[in-house]
Structures are given as C-alpha cells and as structure tokens.
Amino acid sequence: MTDRIKDNINNPEMLERLYQENRKSFESGFYKIYPEIENSEMAKFWKSRLDFGKTPDRVRSISGSDILIMIAVCLIAGFLIKIPALFNINLTTFFFYEKNAGIIVFLGLALYTLWLNRNSNPKGIIITLITFIVSIVYINLLPSVRDSASINLVYIHMPMLMWCVFGLIYIDFNIKDQRKRIEFIRHNGDLAILGAIILIAGGALTGITVLLFHAIGINIEMFYFNNIVLIGLVSAPIVTTYIIENFNTLTDKFASIVASLFSPLVLFTLVVYLIAIIFSAKDPYNDRNFLLIFNIMLIGVMGIIVFSISETSIYAKQNFNRMVLLILSIITLIINLIALSAIFYRLSKYGLTPNRLAILVSNILIFGNLILITIDLFRINLKKSEPDKVELTISKYLPVYLLWIMIVVFGFPIIFGLK
C-alpha cells in the first residue's frame, strides 16, 4: 500500500480509490511514508483528512465489538491449549503440544484476522477452515514417537505451514498482489517486536505475582503456569494484533527504531563470532550440535535481514542502514557457504537422513534468496535501483519456501516411511 500511495500521490482519484478499498491499510501506509511526502500539498490534505476528529492514541475511544471479539478468540485459543488438562490426555503417550501448539496459535491469529477482514471472500473462509481441519487431523494421526526424524520434522514445519496460511488470510487470498505480501512481512516484524515487549511485561508480572503469594505462604506456581501463563502465551499474538491494528502509529515507531539499531548490532556480533570460531576448537564439520546452532543462527539472521529491509525501505534517508544490510547479507552468505560445505561433508561421510536432507535444502533455498537480496542491496547502494526492489524480491520468493514446507510436512513421512 505504501508504494501505491507514493506512486499516486499526485492522483487524487486513485488515492481516494485506494482509501475506499482498504481504509486501515491506507491509513497505516500513509503515516509510514508521510516523512517522505510531507512537502506535497496532496499529502498535507490527506494528513489533515486522516487526522480530523481524532484524539491521540493514548485517549482514543476503543470499539467495544473489537474488544469482545478479541477476548472471544483468546478464550477459544485458551480452551484449545487446555484440552489435555480438561480431558485428562496423557502427554507421555500422546504429544499434544508438539502436534497442536503451533496450529492453535495461528488458528487464533487466523480467526481474528478474518474478523478484521470482514469483507473477505467467502471462498477464503471456507479454504481457511478446510486447511486447519485437514492439518489438525493429519498431524494428530501421526504416531507419537521420539525417534522418528521425519515426524519430528513435521512437528517443526507445521507451525511454518500455518504461518503461510495466516499470510494468505492476511492478504485476503490475493496471491497476485506482491505488495500485500510486503505488508504481511512488515506486519510480522511489528508482531515480533510488540509481542516480545508484551511477553517481557508478562514475564515480569508473573515473577512479581509468584513472589507476592510466596511471601504470604501460598505457592501458586503450578496453578499460575498451567493456567494463566499457558493461556497468556497463546493469547499474546491476538492481543498484539489488536494493538497493531488500533494503535498503528505507536507500533510503527517501534519497528523503525528497532530496524535502525538492531541490524548494526547483529552485524558487529556476527563479525566477532566468525573471528571467535577461527580460534575455537569447534567446527560445524565434525560437531553435529554446533552445525545445528550454526543453522539456527543463519535462519535468525536471515529473518532479521528481511525484517530490517521491510522497515528501512519505507524511508528515503536510510543510506547507512542499507549499507549495513548489504554487509550483513554478504557475511550471512559466507556463513551459509560454511554451513552448506559442512552439510555436504557430513552427507558424504554419514549418508542421507531426513534431517540432513531438510537442512541441506533449507540452506540452499536461503542461499538463493540471500544472493538475490544481496544483488538488489548492492544496486540500491549504487543508486541504480529503488529500495522497494528488495521487498519485491523477497515477496516473490515466499512461495518457494511454502512449497518446500509442504513437501516436508506431507512428503517426508511417506518418503522415509515414518523413520
């Protein structure tokens, strides 16, 4: 939406059409890019129009129906996560949380997002329900075993698949509009930042509550963790989404600050870490656990790069951050090459397993994505390309990840015979 507003800032008719299509998205996108276009007379007009009659976020009236729906969805997610306790399910013989926790979290997000997209296509709602039902039935029919690598991979990748489904719901199943995918990436960054703040605050409240009751001789740890904390964890993403939707000017500030400060810190940490590896006795070629940590770090840094790109690209004066992201991408490529060489080495020495195949293909996909991102960042830093080119590259690559996740979830148990 931000790019469409910028492209049509001098086209009053098109701006009005964009506003009527999706008022919340238009408002959020307009405020994000306003620092870039504030000198435009049309931008000043729309700023006045959008601000008219509003009070600051901290005292703005809140829709009662929105709050009720949010609470209802939180209660549904809370009920589902408490099924083992309510129906006396033995967690040692049936891995309820491994199979269903991720699905429950994204089901709550999906239901609340469907409410936000009240004008959604009925076909989209039907597809959503069928997808979740099939996923729940499928994963719960799998054997509850610890020694099956292919099944463990399903447990890991099923939440990723549900994240993709949540993305489809967020963009209202408009898979052809790549800019909506970009908005989804930014939304995930806002979710991660604000969600982390809420979880930290919740953790502090938990600690204070337990200590206060402990001081008067009442131990509520088990009750509190099994009820309040558990329900709070699955409700946090829903509450976070509510805050983002209703107080977007607040969350936008958080996102831009984190994107500006966090990527340089990550770059510094990575450089120091790579130097430390040289002088340490650890290497990913012979240490399986170290290779696993190496890959987790790679995925985490990749996520930070994607998020930082989506936030810095909406501001014109972000040259320093774009240079940092270019260097960070190059270093991440080096890390990826080390990981790939270690995986190929272990494949030649120990043979093919579900875990090694999953890690290998995941690294190859990330490597390909990183190359495209690095090329775009290089062109942007040379002023030969527009900042939003990187976002479009990322959005085009998302279906590749979705295809691979579906292969792991539904194909690996068959290919490897549940081993």
What band does 310 get if pLDDT is binned at 50, 70 and 90? low
User: Do 117 and 172 form a contact (C-beta atoms < 8 A)?
Assistant: yes
For the stretch 400-415, pLDDT in tens is 999 999 999 999 999 9
Better-scored residue on pLDDT, 221 or 51: 221
Return the residue matching tokens 């600051």.
56
In this prediction, residue 123 carries a pLDDT of 79
Q: With 50 as the cut, is the pLDDT of residue 385 above it?
A: yes
Instruction: Give the model's confidence band at 59: pLDDT under 50 very low, under 70 low, under 90 confident, else very high.
Output: very low
Give CA–CA dist 54/138, Å, rounded.
Answer: 48
Contact by Cβ (8 Å): 25, 1? yes
Tokens 């340089």 locate to 264
Question: How does DSSP classify residue 59?
Answer: G
Alpha helix stretches (DSSP H) within 1-60: 2-7, 12-21, 23-37, 41-51
* Interatomic CA distance for residues 152 and 237, integer angstroms: 25
Whether the Cβ atoms of residue 307 and residue 259 lie closer than 8 Å to each other: yes
In this predicted structure, what is the pLDDT of residue 19?
A: 78
pLDDT surpassing 60 at residue 54: no
Average pLDDT score, the chain: 83
Report yes or no: 328 and 345 within 8 Å, Cβ to Cβ: no
pLDDT higher than 50, residue 316: no
* Least confident window among 3-12, 52-61, 343-352, 400-409: 52-61
Rounded mean pLDDT, 178-188: 82
The set of long-range contacts for 278-286, using a CB threshold of 8 Å and a minimum separation of 24, is 283/342, 284/338, 284/339, 284/342, 285/341, 285/342, 285/345, 285/346
Q: Which residue has the higher pLDDT, 286 or 237?
A: 237
pTM above threshold 0.95:
no
Give me the pLDDT at residue 38, please: 72
Could you read off the pLDDT of 351-367 as tens digits, one per residue? 888 988 999 999 999 99
